Amino acid sequence: MSSHICGVVPPYLLQGIAEGRDGVDDDGREAALRSLKHRHEYTSRRCDRLAALSQPRARQQHAALHQQQSIVPEILLQHIAEAEGVDEETRQRARRDCEQIKLVTTAYKQSLSGEGGVEQQSLAPKLETDGFYRAVYDAKHAQNENKLPGTVVRVEGQKVANDEAVNQAYDNVGKVLDFYEKFFKWKSIDNKNMHVLSSVHFGKGYENAFWDPDRMQMVFGDGHTFLYHFTNCIDVIGHELTHAVTEHTSPLEYEGQAGALNEHISDVFGIMVKQLVEDETADKADWLIGEGCLLPDVKGVALRSMKEPGTAYDDPRFGKDPQPASMAGYKPVTEDNGGVHMFSGIPNRAFYLASAAFGGYSWEKAGQIWWKTMNSGSVPPRCTFIQFADATTDIAHELYGDEGAKIVRDAWNEVGVVRQR
């Protein structure tokens, strides 16, 4: 099984830096190699996780386990209840939830041991909170996930910290989760107000940001020679948190076209939240993912372009954006889990075309179609592009009639994802 880490920076870009021509110094190459090494060591577990979720029994077990993992840890609630600068309303809610967790945890342990009967077993998985809790930690440049999350710096309800990266992560995570709740009625990552932890300052010169599915938290590097400012790019945070949301809607295996669709969904929701923050309609937006991640001397504008895949960067030191804009450029590859980052540009452009044709804001119609599709039960774990095109077209017809279905089908046809008759 190939490996995967939910990192917004594609591996071929990091590989380009690591193998860079003149202009990439040894320090820059070593930083890129460290990032790639970490990706290789960690990501096979992520692939195995998504493959396991494709099995019905495994999904049930995952749901039961995640129910317990989603419970806000007592230590976090204690931080919130005791930290200076936390508003009193949040402090009281943390104390209340802390007491509830003790009751729920006790009941859960009793249900596992066979004590307490049916009533307590039914109580065990239930815990609802009024809203999600955020906490941001300083990883202090630790390069091992075993040392995460690090030292707590800012928790829910607390005033700004002295660390800019901490405040950016805190604020932008909140904006992404507010976006999901406001426009899609989805509460936090799991629709149950799951807490969201983030660690900043991970690694030494770590040029990426990712969602760690084992620890269920965001992790941000500081960047190095070519890439930086991950905490300040809301589309990056939207992209990574959406990987976690996808596990709770339609888990897509991280290989080939299904893996490219997994990356595509994260780009779709990342770009929509960016457009919301910047108040841009589909026709006015730039459709650039990771626009703020490239250091000023890099010859490029972003990590990816959804409007014009393959045009995001072209730097003589590490190469050109390899994304094709249509199936004319699609070919089977073995690297990057079958090209999951490379070929996500094809469905990305289809979403852009559909959004532009509908007009208005991208989340008003196209986004609603994509969201309902992911919650429809019609997206298999090994979904192909044409299967996803059919599913989105069906949902478009359901929501917006013949005209909506034609807009979506035309978008897929334009990028070469065409139903064969």
**pLDDT per position as a tens digit, 392-401:** 999 999 999 9
* Cα–Cα distance measured from residue 381 to residue 242, given in angstroms and rounded to the nearest whole number: 16
Question: Helices (DSSP H) in 25-87: which residue ranges?
Answer: 26-53, 56-69, 74-82
Task: With CA atoms as reference, report the closest residue to 4 among 298, 211, 179.
Answer: 211
What is the torsional sign of CA 99, 103, 106, 111? Answer: negative
- pLDDT bin (cut points 50, 70, 90) of residue 117 is very low
Decide if pLDDT at 420 tops 90: no
In eight-state DSSP terms, residue 313 is B
Most confident region among 60-69, 89-98, 372-381 by mean pLDDT: 372-381
Most confident region among 25-34, 120-129, 201-210, 222-231 by mean pLDDT: 201-210
Where along the chain do its domains lie?
A: 6-247, 256-414
Question: Helices (DSSP H) in 117-202: which residue ranges?
Answer: 117-123, 164-184
pLDDT of residue 138: 96
Is 260 buried (19+), middle (13-18) or exposed (0-12) by CB count in 10 A? buried
Report CA 171 to chain centroid distance, whole Å: 16
Q: How far is CA 59 from CA 249, 261, 318, 381, in A?
A: 11, 20, 40, 12
> Whats the size of the chain, residue-wise?
421
What is the torsional sign of CA 214, 220, 223, 228? Answer: positive
Q: What mean pLDDT comes out for the span 280-299?
A: 90
End-to-end CA distance of the chain: 34
* Cα–Cα distance measured from residue 164 to residue 294, given in angstroms and rounded to the nearest whole number: 18
The model's pLDDT over 230-258, given as tens digits with 9 standing for 90+, comes to 899 999 999 999 999 999 999 999 899 99
For this structure, is 341 an active site residue? yes
The model's pLDDT over 222-233, given as tens digits with 9 standing for 90+, comes to 887 677 788 999
Could you say which of 3.30.70.100, 1.10.760.10, 1.10.390.10, 1.20.1440.230 is the CATH number of the domain covering 256-414? 1.10.390.10
Report CA 240 to chain centroid distance, whole Å: 2
Catalytic residue among 145, 240, 247, 291: 240
In eight-state DSSP terms, residue 200 is E
Looking at CATH, the fold of the domain delimited by 6-247 is given as Elastase; domain 1 (3.10.170)
Decide if pLDDT at 64 tops 50: no
Catalytic residue among 79, 243, 264, 341: 341
What is the torsional sign of CA 180, 184, 187, 189? Answer: negative
